[in-house]
Structure 1
Amino acid sequence: MRAGWLGVFIGLCAVSLMVGARPLQWAQLVAGDASAWLTLTASRLPRLAALVLIGAGLAVCGVILQHVVRNKFVEPATSGGLDAAKLGILVAMVLAPGAGSAGRMLLALVFCFGASALFVAIIQRIHLRNSVLVPVIGLMYGSVLSALAEFYAYRHNILQSMQGWLLGDFSRVVQGNYEIVYLTLPVVLASYLYAQRFTVLGMGEGIASGLGLNYVGTVTAGLMLVAVTVAVSVITVGAIPFVGLVIPNLVALRYGDNLQRTLPIVALGGAALLLLCDILGRLIIYPFEVPIGLTAGSLGGVLLLALIVWRQR
């Protein structure tokens, strides 16, 4: 089964390299066509690397948040983290316009971490019994942060700039303009090293502390890993929802909740889903391109509703 999913992933990678406004053919590459090789190395390979790393990172972020909050319907898009990162980038654009990508990412990281920590504190304090209410509160919380971001952008006349990366778009990913996404690789590796601790974390504070786990420290580490990945993805390609919600749930239904065993599958599934959404976005109105935020949001929204109905039944 895992070999089959790996084969699907490799196939999606091959299709992603060949599909685009300018189709590539393997025969051109074998023949040494200079223009084809330039397209491959300057555009298609960087785009593929960004898709795989961000897809894997967002899926891992989702499963970490779900174990921290102990709710299967939580991810950065349903906990306010994504909207907080956008607000942080807008603040950086106004306060430090010359800071560059690194400065904007740092402020987005701080805002995302703070918003995620506040969301966790709210959920732990009100002790909700209905699991569906947790993401509803997260969506309301994120809507408030999104409204603040839009108001801030409007007041500083950068609303149009904000709309440019609001939906998420990989068409801007070219050589020299995407390398910051490699920061998600150590995040995924660190998540795997902490996998057993995150699994214990999902049992609750009492059990985790009773087993000798530093609960606060592990939660802080998890939220920091999430904040780094979200900040990197938003600053590079924009906001992409639902990847961290759909994949962890589908993997958990099939393989369970032991992250030491399932985390590689979650990462692979997140990368595959984002590749599929990107390919669909490039083919729907070919040779033009639909932003991946729309395709991922549409597909993820349908799957989210299906998961909620299934859980309720």
Structure 2
Amino acid sequence: MRAAGAPAAGAPWLLLGGLGVLLMAAASLFIGRIPLGPADLWRDPAAGELLLVSRIPRTAAALLAGAALAVSGQIMQILARSRFVEPMTAGAGQSAALGILLAAMVFPAAPLWVKMGIASLAALAGALGLMALLRPLPPTQPLLAPLTALVYGGAIGAATAFVAFQADMMQFVDTWLTGELSGVLEGRYELLWLAGGATVAAWFAADRLTLLGLGETTARGLGLNVARARALGLGATALVTAVTVTTVGAIPFIGLVAPNLVSRWMGDDLRRALPVTALLGAGLVLGADILGRVIRAPYEVPVAVLAGVLGGALFLAVLLRGPTRG
């Protein structure tokens, strides 16, 4: 279930990782198009307002989105029984964008929480569709699951693009399919706390999800209510995906890279692994956002672009390194 020696070796790195994320969060408060330093908070009242209205919400949004996406990716990998799937590329993210598009077309004046609810239902339907496709696949062919997920997500993405093109709303859809945090302000990110709540709920259900990863037959033999555990995992994944896409847009690879890195280090005991996965996901998104602010200052590179580049590079490094031996 876990690599040998992980608890003793993992605790110092976990503390260092937490400290690193805290330092990045502190730096994020003072990095942006408008120069801002700690001393400005005492001299200029507008500096404090900038911090409260823009910088703190943006930093919190990056941390919440990253942690939630990483945990939802780990849950989906257990449900799909494949290390190579994640919600944003396996149909759930595309379904959430399709749900938002349809909500904007049918209920253009609806408040954001209504569109988020429709997106959640669409993401749940997309995840259920993927599970139905993966169920009959033979376990002896591990590459079929990620290939099926990619084709499935691509098909839903193509359908979304077709509907948006017919309705002359391509630019609208691109907003949801390319995650970026430059528009995050106070009052426009608070829905992400729902994703944070779903992440905490997943930790409380970690033991059941761990048993589910052993296979349905084994899990039932150990007394697990498989249908209830599966519904909990799918519900958390759908909610996190919909809230993230609705609030900041789709951010790829976080739900793929973070769980794989953590599982190779700590094994499959989710009670221990989920906090580390959440911390790594939060650090990846926040780091990508900070890099996007400074790499072409005063312009910004969307966090989804840098998350895709960094996440892809990390995932290739994991694949080339080979399995960890405990």
Given that 2:90 and 2:150 are in contact with CA atoms closer than 8 Å, whether structure 1 keeps it comes out as: yes
Amino acid at match of 2:18: L
Question: Aligned partners of 1:134 and 1:77: how far apart in 2?
Answer: 15
Q: 1:216 aligns with which of 213, 223, 227?
A: 227
Q: 1:109 aligns with which of 120, 130, 152?
A: 120
Residues 1:85 and 2:96 aligned together: yes
Q: How does 1:158-307 map to 2 (within 5 A)?
A: 158-307=169-318
2:22 corresponding residue in structure 1: 10
2:40 corresponding residue in structure 1: 28
Q: CA deviation at 1:68?
A: 1.1
1:142 corresponding residue in structure 2: 153
Question: Aligned partners of 1:78 and 1:128: how far apart in 2?
Answer: 21
Q: 2:162 aligns with which of 151, 170, 178?
A: 151
Tell me the SS of whatever aligns to 1:40: helix
Tell me the SS of whatever aligns to 1:26: coil
Question: Aligned partners of 1:120 and 1:264: how far apart in 2?
Answer: 25
Identity %: 40
Amino acid at match of 1:100: P
Given that 2:92 and 2:126 are in contact with CA atoms closer than 8 Å, whether structure 1 keeps it comes out as: yes
Tell me the SS of whatever aligns to 2:301: coil
Residues 1:48 and 2:59 aligned together: yes
Q: CA deviation at 1:252?
A: 1.0
Question: Aligned partners of 2:138 and 2:227: how far apart in 1?
Answer: 18
Amino acid at match of 1:10: L
Tell me the SS of whatever aligns to 1:77: coil
1:132 corresponding residue in structure 2: 143
Q: Deviations over 1:161-213 (max 9, x none)?
A: 11233211101100111111111121011101100001001000110011111
Given that 2:179 and 2:303 are in contact with CA atoms closer than 8 Å, whether structure 1 keeps it comes out as: yes
The two structures have a TM-score, normalised by structure 2, of: 0.92
Question: Aligned partners of 2:177 and 2:132: how far apart in 1?
Answer: 27
The two structures have a TM-score, normalised by structure 1, of: 0.96
Q: CA deviation at 1:148?
A: 0.4
Amino acid at match of 1:117: L
Amino acid at match of 2:302: P
Tell me the SS of whatever aligns to 2:236: helix
Q: CA deviation at 1:28?
A: 1.1
Question: Aligned partners of 2:91 and 2:76: how far apart in 1?
Answer: 12
Gaps of 5+ in 2: 1-12
Given that 2:88 and 2:241 are in contact with CA atoms closer than 8 Å, whether structure 1 keeps it comes out as: no
1:61 corresponding residue in structure 2: 72
Question: Aligned partners of 1:231 and 1:57: how far apart in 2?
Answer: 11
Question: Aligned partners of 1:309 and 1:129: how far apart in 2?
Answer: 22
Q: Deviations over 1:125-169 (max 9, x none)?
A: 122423233222111111100000010011111112112332111
Gaps of 5+ in 1: none
Amino acid at match of 1:262: A
Amino acid at match of 1:181: L
Question: Aligned partners of 1:76 and 1:253: how far apart in 2?
Answer: 20
Q: Deviations over 1:81-114 (max 9, x none)?
A: 1111111110101011111211111111111111
Question: Aligned partners of 1:178 and 1:142: how far apart in 2?
Answer: 26
Given that 2:66 and 2:284 are in contact with CA atoms closer than 8 Å, whether structure 1 keeps it comes out as: yes
Question: Aligned partners of 1:109 and 1:65: how far apart in 2?
Answer: 15
Amino acid at match of 2:216: E
Q: CA deviation at 1:312?
A: 8.3
Q: CA deviation at 1:307?
A: 3.1
